[in-house]
Structure 1
Amino acid sequence: MTQSGPESETGATASVNARGAVDLSQLGGAGGPDPQPGQPGGEHAAGADSWVVPIRPEQLQQIVQLSAQAPVIVLIHGEDEASTTMRSTLADHVDAQQGRVLLAEVDASISPELAQAQGADQIPVATAFVGGRPVGEFDSSVPADQLGQVVTEMVQLATQNGMTQKLPPQSRRARAADEEPELPPLHQKAHDCLEIGDLDGAIDAYEQALRENPGDTDASIGLAQVRLMRRTQDVDLHQARSAAAQSPDDVGAQITVADLDVLGGHVEDAFARLITFIRGHFGEERERARAHLVELYSIVGDTDPRVNTSRQQLARALF
């Protein structure tokens, strides 16, 4: 693949998986043992976590932005045998990476304009993105037994550019017919809403889950994350940064940029921005910034070392 370094100022539009983890920045980190790069494992059986997600053409830009968090492969496929083989093989190798890379699939058969633009004879075709930029393209002429190497090279390129985060699972592979669903019904409802872009529906589902069980930590985190997505979905990154720079005493402007930084993978920057505001302000605005920072801690995850470091800085800023 042709390689180039990622851009440092790439905004990102995130989503949330069924367990309430922010997709695309690993924020809290994905658990489990490290796989051997590019080697599909036996753990990827029916019902296993997966990092393969179907998308619509209008979601392509969001997925490209997501590559600011981890490498992304966008596969445009049809229903032919070559597409089936390429999809299956890439899915195995992507899932073997356990969150170090994401595979986004676009079905050309339900997007005639996309198939026409690409050229039917060039489908399936995959484009690799790192840091919001294309770094290579390949098609079915690449032998199936070499696709694992392609995926591994993407992960290595990302690592060389400081992208070491792991995304939470984005989907589940098909379960056996007699296997019970692992998600509570309202969590599954939230997940289903997110898959069709219904953020309000996902929020309603998580809120209902919390009404029924106030101690549901996953629902609480999921709710915070979906609200973060809704707050930032129509925000222009550059305009937000400009507004925050021009109005350093505007707590709302600082919070907006902090939200965008978290979604863009700039977690330390987001935390530092709010800590700085807290140090220099008092009263209701200070409390609003503090409460928002604590909410961002829950989104990133208490096990993330960046959260622990920021908590110490927050304590010093407050006392």
Structure 2
Amino acid sequence: MQPRNMSMSGVVDLAAVKAAGEAKQKAEQARREQAARGAGQNDQGVAPSQLVIDVTEATFERDVLERSNEVPVVIDFWAEWCEPCKQLGPLLERLTESYAGRILLAKIDVDANQLLFQQFGVQGIPAVFAVIGGQMMPLFQGAAPEAQIREVFDQLIAVAEQRFGITGIPVEGAAPAAEHEPPIDPALAAGHDALDRGDLGGAIQAYKNVLSGDPGNIEAKLALAQAELLRRVQDADPQAVRKAAADSPADPEAQIAAADLDLVGGHVEDAFGRLVDTVKRTVGEDRERARLHLLELFDVVGAEEPRVVSARAALARVLF
């Protein structure tokens, strides 16, 4: 189940629809190519051992971004010295194999791949992210119980299927996955209904209620981020906001307000670039405020891969 369209028009909805459409086209193309390879080589699918792969900066585009058009890619950021990573890693690997091609696990050693670590804005490890159709979303940080991870994986698969048309890859010896419709969470449905009525405050509270009991709920995270953005700009005076930003280029609050307007107005690169420049101009708490808001906007857009990766690279250059 995907987040409902917002009551206000703007880039949040249009970008999501455009990205989903493009992702579905890529997924269909990937399935056609995979079927053609199988027909020519009598291929029965990948081996279960190929569902867990080590990824580097050099292979990230091929093994994560491109593969995310045919299967949700879960990323495990880890390091040899990290004890919680040693607990979480084997559990993620075992669960990935149990999903029989519905998920691919990409393991990234942060010590050997610092640029990826920085681009994703990882605060600590272990950290688990997902990429679907070239779009990144955080899942959870730190070790987690198996039942909670299974819930997150189930939601990830549902989002991939319903929003992007991505159904996974065939695995040798595995039976085809049965089609299923995940149950509707009444609290999540209440949030969607509030959005349909234009009640942004009610929607935000409903999504927060969902996340309080289920912190890994991907749909609620996406919908909450979008609803909060829409509420921030709902009563804004565009001329006043842009004048304040022009008059105070180093004021993080003025630039954040303008970036929100940029985003809702469809100027995604401008919004990202504005906050990257603000991070560059500021220090201390002001810099951190701008940086964190930029990361929030990445989540809001569910941005197409080139824009997010480019902005994350620019942010990393400024910070480091």
What is the TM-score normalised by the length of structure 1?
0.47
Higher relative contact order (CA 8 A, sep 6+): 1
Which structure shows the higher helix fraction?
2
What is the TM-score normalised by the length of structure 2?
0.46
